[in-house]
């Protein structure tokens, strides 16, 4: 899998410029704003000469690739809404969607993001430098609405940045959404061999997934009369969740989302079992 060493600074800057409209749209949808973003000129990153805004509170959107991360620092002075430190369920979903969409729009297609998180911090610079200094990193300023507000994209930083929120003091209010599966607490006795993962041999197998919008039955005669311009209607309400199918079985349900110019589904329910209406036998 490609990492940051396989691309140049110009390559990531080019992707950010190309996707600037989609990046701004994700930001606006997350915070209910109407802002435009302008990508600036890249410069060498140094924590000693970091912008003063990074010494205050804000959000870190981290995209982990291997043992390194691309980090986008959003100062609270942007301004961010008051709820960003203590988001509710719907607001936490917004932050998760922001990280997911930015992970696809800030990185070249050949670099796959392994984990994306959005975390709130009392001091952005402290959170960015906590894992240790970066050997060689780049800072890309992004202006907001052509005024004094800015956010910063910095890469590559040590990947521990994405996990640092869980190790910070409890006074730090963290709004974190991670895509990695939780690890169960170990119950093994000291010296015992590690537990065997029963799914280890099949985890790397690719399976096709299908998103089903709606279905209905139509007569053969209606099918034969289909032509360009024909409208086929369905009884499914537009606000109903879509079904994610695996091996012709419903595995999850979710709502459609736009990721840049592509379609995606944000999962709302996993392992959903359709409710059957009780029948009275006469």
- pLDDT tens digits, one per residue of 156-174: 888 764 444 433 433 344 4
Average pLDDT over residues 126-142: 82
What was the pLDDT predicted at 262? 84
Instruction: Say how far apart CA 7 and CA 68 lie, in whole Å.
Output: 13
Q: Which two tokens stand for residue 190?
A: 């000291």
The residue with greater pLDDT, 106 or 189, is 106
Would you state the pLDDT for residue 133?
Answer: 64
CA-nearest of 48, 72, 76, 75 to 62 is 72
> What residues have CB less than 8 Å from 153, skipping those under 6 apart?
16, 70, 71, 72, 73, 106, 139, 140, 142
Per-residue pLDDT tens over the stretch 221-238 = 888 989 998 988 888 888
pLDDT computed for residue 147 by the predictor = 66
The pLDDT assigned to 154 comes to: 93
For the chain, percent of residues with pLDDT exceeding 90: 25
How would residue 149 be classed by pLDDT, with cut points 50, 70 and 90?
Answer: confident
Higher pLDDT among residues 274 and 126, named by residue: 126
What pLDDT does residue 166 have?
Answer: 38
How far are the Cα atoms of 18, 71, 147, 249, 259 from residue 266, in angstroms, in the given order? 24, 23, 33, 18, 10
Residue spans of the domains in the chain: they are: 4-167, 209-270
Helices marked H in 1-134 — which ranges? 9-18, 20-31, 89-105, 124-129
256-261 average pLDDT score: 82
The yes-or-no verdict on residue 187 having pLDDT over 60 is: no
Q: By the 8 A CB rule, do 126 and 120 touch?
A: no
* CATH classification for the domain delimited by 209-270, as one of 2.30.330.10, 3.40.30.10, 3.40.190.150, 2.40.160.20: 2.30.330.10
pLDDT (0 to 100) of residue 158: 86
Q: Are 145 and 27 in contact (CB under 8 A)?
A: no
Tokens in use for 113?
A: 């993001």
SS3 115: strand
The token duo for 131 is 């894992």
The two structure tokens encoding residue 26? 């994700």
Q: Which of 106, 101, 140 is nearest to 18 (CA)?
A: 106
Statement: residue 277 has pLDDT above 60 = no
Report the distance separating Cα 265 and Cα 276, nearest Å.
Answer: 25
4-167 has CATH 3.40.1550.10 classification: yes
Element (H, E) at 130: none
Mean pLDDT of 93-103: 89
Decide if pLDDT at 272 tops 70. Answer: no
CA distance linking residue 216 with residue 80, whole number of Å: 45
Chain segment 28-59, per-residue pLDDT in tens: 989 988 889 999 999 998 888 889 889 999 99
Using a 10 angstrom Cβ sphere, with 0-12 exposed, 13-18 middle and 19 or more buried, the burial of residue 168 is middle
Q: Binning pLDDT at 50, 70 and 90, where does residue 273 land?
A: low
């Amino acid at each position: 899998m490609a990492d940051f060493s396989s691309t140049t600074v110009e390559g990531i800057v080019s992707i950010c410029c190309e996707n600037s409209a989609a990046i701004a749209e994700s930001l606006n949808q997350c915070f209910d704003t109407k802002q435009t973003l302008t990508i600036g000129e890249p410069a060498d990153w140094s924590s000693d000469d970091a912008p003063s805004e990074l010494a205050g509170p804000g959000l870190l959107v981290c995209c982990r690739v291997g043992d390194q991360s691309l980090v986008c620092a959003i100062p609270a002075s942007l301004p961010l809404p008051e709820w960003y430190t203590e988001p509710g369920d719907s607001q936490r979903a917004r932050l998760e969607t922001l990280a997911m969409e930015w992970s696809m729009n800030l990185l070249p297609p050949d670099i796959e993001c392994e984990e994306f998180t959005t975390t709130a911090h009392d001091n952005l610079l402290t959170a960015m430098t906590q894992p240790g200094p970066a050997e060689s990193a780049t800072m890309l300023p992004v202006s907001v609405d052509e005024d004094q507000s800015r956010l910063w994209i910095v890469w590559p930083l040590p990947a521990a940045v994405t996990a640092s929120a869980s190790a910070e003091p409890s006074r730090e209010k963290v709004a974190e959404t991670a895509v990695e599966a939780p690890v169960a607490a170990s119950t093994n006795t000291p010296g015992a061999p590690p537990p065997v993962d029963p799914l280890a041999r099949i985890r790397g197998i690719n399976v096709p997934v299908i998103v089903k919008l709606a279905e209905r039955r139509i007569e053969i005669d209606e099918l034969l009369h289909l032509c360009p311009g024909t409208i086929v209607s369905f009884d499914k309400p537009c606000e109903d969740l879509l079904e994610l199918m695996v091996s012709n079985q419903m595995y999850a349900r979710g709502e459609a989302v736009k990721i840049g110019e592509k379609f995606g589904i944000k999962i709302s329910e996993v392992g959903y079992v359709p409710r059957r209406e009780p029948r009275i036998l006469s």
